[in-house]
A and B are shown apart, each in its own frame.
Chain A
Amino acid sequence: MIYRETGQFKTSYRRDQAIFPIAQDRWFVVAALGVAFVVVPLVANEYWLQAVLIPWLVFSIAAIGLNLLTGYAGQLSLGTGGFMAVGAYAVYKLTTAFPELNVIVVFLLAGLFAAGVGILFGLPSLRIKGLYLAVATLAAQFFLIWLFNRVPWFFNYNPSGTITMPPRTFLGVMVTGPEATATVRYLVALSFVVVFALLAKNLVRTNIGRTWMAIRDMDVAAEIIGIRPLTTKLSAFAVSSFYCGLAGALVFSLYLGSVETLAFDITVSFEVLFMIIIGGLGSILGSILGAGFIVLVPIFLTNVPRLFGIEVPVDLAKEVEAMVFGGLIVFFLIVEPLGLARLWQIAKEKLRRWPFPY
């Protein structure tokens, strides 16, 4: 009843091709953004911002990046953690070498570095695909982590090999370092997510995005109709790695503040892959929902026993939490194998017919 596009006529191409063609969708997005930008900073305490929302946001960007590559261009990658590490170490090297450089510019440059590395490691995708490509990217993962671990130049020769983000300001406000408030860091991360999610959403509707999907659906046919695999695949790797590098930069500077290579090891690559599978391949919204699932559900489960005022030993709580989390993953897959984004879509379909389904 409330969610129906009856009477909304599209009288121009522009309106017809809008990202959110239905007015209710637009209102919803505006409302959601309003909540995210205004209400949440006012309401949420530091724990919520620092331990829950910021990780969700920064991993959303990584998930979008991987989804562009795997969900849209069909190239399976297990190198996400490595590309994120490139972003993080690029931020560190750039901002310590050029302290006066604007920190936002540093983030974007770090993304570009990652994009370059991504192109390099995307080259094998021209010859191999599927599982074998996954292994090639796995090699990238291991190589990059090894590199950052072994070459002291990357961590400015400090004895422990841990890199720490120095304090930096943007428009006079402390954005990174220990004195930056969680609210500011949350808002910066949120802005990045909004901008780059919209960008991605648009990107997949352009020529580039369509060639990616063509390659994904059937590479031979795509080649026959004149799509060049070289540029298509490499552009997918470049854009995806840019997003991953940016995410790594934000993980380092906004979320953790100081990292070692372990923060980007192979488990991170898998984690981001889980995010896009559970969220839905080939969906930007799905990436964000999937990141939310993987980040939020364990935290939520940890706090469940306390909600009911039950004192449970921490080890028992953690074990049960792992079991429930695993069970939930399987449950969601059985309910909807195509991910949370598909569930969302179904919900919308249902809502259109509500309250008179036929």
Chain B
Amino acid sequence: MWRNLKRLAVAILALSVLVAPALAQEEIFIPMLVYRTGPYAPNGIPAANGFRDYLRLLNARDGGINGVKITWEECETQYNTKLGVECYEKLKNKGPKGAALVNPYSTGITYQLIPRAPIDKVPIHSMGYGQTAAADGRVFAWAFNFPTTYWSQASAFIKYVGEQEGGMDKLKGKRIALVYHNSPYGKEPIPTLTVLAEQYGYDLQLLAVDHPGQEQKATWLQIRRYRPHWVFMWGWGVMNQVAIKEAAAIRYPMDRFIGVWWSGSESDVVPAGKDAIGYKAGNFHGVGTDFDVHRDILKYVYNGNLAEAKANNFGEVLYNRGLVNAMYDTEAIRTAMRKYGNRAVGGEEVRWGFENLHLTEDYLKQIGFGGFVRPIKITCEDHEGNGPVFIQQWTGETWKQVSDWITPMREVVRPMIEKAALEYAKENNITPRNCAAEQ
């Protein structure tokens, strides 16, 4: 008993020493909050692999970013907010300059970290999730959610539907149902869809599905009765697979069923088998492996071993999303280096890098992302960049892009974002920055 206690004490001591291990000076540290276990692991694994592989590629091909090596450490969150906070606290001061940035990979964790970011000086990049209002950089100086937000996506969906129906004026009298995960994440598109419903005269029905979403019979019976022309879904995890099955069970036409970009990966459709063929989803980056960056990863990271790459989800939608995320983050670091020099940069400098990120078509081609993502420019006011969205469709084998890039309705979304940001600022005693003065 006593020996055990002593061992425990020694272990605890060792633990507190280990919290700050020595790292070489010239390294950039990126914490990775991942979920490779638990209910959302099917989504978390490919995203984490993609992110990791891009960092590996940079280290292997270019020796890091502008010659500065990248280090990273994974921490398992199980998509659980409390574990996520613990991970963040553990990793935020690691590396010679602390964490360069953080990707929460969960809306709940993002909400936790946004107030902490200005204190800890760690910029947050919640790519296509998190708090939509963070697109207003005047209030949310430390949070970035480019290339696009849920609200923009919702407006892009409406645009797509209008186009399919043969004109935005045809939306009048159409019925649209939104099936959403009953959480802050799932509620995100509601304000936008409601505002647009008034503008275009379509009817909107909201159907909440409670976590985790394995039982949706009642929801789909309601849809069967309502007979919507289109169904949108803001789903996550097991909810997606069940929804697709249930939609098939009521014979809902799959090509009129559009999921959010978190409901459109291989793991969402494969378990539903052939029922899922025709199902659509939004996306903001290329699908497949036909890009320069993929060829490089195969060459430098996997030494040409395609089977091993495939085992690491190579080319899946969420793998590609991890890649894109890592690219944006490392490019922000590179931008920061242009100002501060080719050395390890800290959170504060990376924040500047994010805010001045400008990726042109030519440059994207250079780094292997030609045709993979759209050019983007982030400014002090605009942390979203208003990146366009496209619709992809499941063929039974692969996802296929079936629409052009759709530009969201910025004129509708942006005022809403600014309003929400101002409300947040008021509630939390934040004075919005004056961006004109900062330039």
Contacts and interface: CB of A to CB of B under 8 A. Distances in A.
B85 A160 contact: no
B184 interface: yes
Contact of A164 (B36, B108, B428): B428
A258 B187 contact: no
B333 to A, nearest CB: 23
Contacts of A262: 81, 108, 183, 211
Contacts of A257: 112, 115-116
A314 B36 contact: yes
A96 B45 CA distance: 40
B61 interface: no
A314 B75 contact: yes
Contacts of A318: 36-38, 76, 78
B115 A164 contact: yes
B19 A45 contact: yes
A306 interface: yes
A139 interface: no
Interface stretch (B9-17, B310-318, B374-382): B9-17
Interface residues of B, number: 47
A315 interface: yes
A229 interface: no
A317 B187 contact: no
B187 A166 contact: no
Contacts of B132: 159
A314 B34 contact: yes
Contact of A299 (B11, B41, B86, B187): B86
A315 B36 contact: yes
Nearest to A181: B119
Nearest to B190: A159
B111 interface: yes
Contacts, number: 109
Q: Decide if the interface of chain B is mainly helix, strand, loop or mixed.
A: helix
B184 A162 contact: yes
Interface string B110-144: 01100110110000000000011000000000000
A203 interface: no
B305 interface: no
Interface string A297-311: 001101110110000
Given A51-B89, A307-B15, A159 B191 contact: yes
B90 interface: yes
A314 B116 CA distance: 25
Interface string A49-63: 011100100000000
Contacts of B93: 46
Given A167-B428, A263-B81, A307 B18 contact: yes
A156 B111 CA distance: 16
Interface in A117-159: 149, 156, 158-159
A159 B211 contact: no
A162 B187 CA distance: 10
Given A51-B86, A299-B86, A315-B76, A149 B182 contact: yes
B420 interface: yes
Contact of B74 (A50, A55, A161, A314): A314
Contacts of A158: 420, 423-424
B37 A319 contact: yes
In the A-B complex, the 6 residue pairs with the smallest Cβ-Cβ separation, listed nearest first, are: A315-B36, A178-B115, A160-B184, A51-B86, A314-B76, A47-B89
Interface of A: 45-48, 50-52, 55, 96, 149, 156, 158-162, 164, 166-167, 177-179, 256-258, 260, 262-263, 265, 299-300, 302-304, 306-307, 313-315, 317-319
26 contacts: A45-B19, A47-B89, A50-B85, A51-B89, A96-B427, A158-B420, A159-B188, A159-B190, A159-B191, A160-B131, A166-B428, A177-B115, A178-B119, A256-B112, A258-B112, A260-B184, A263-B81, A300-B11, A302-B76, A306-B15, A314-B34, A314-B36, A315-B37, A315-B41, A318-B38, A318-B76
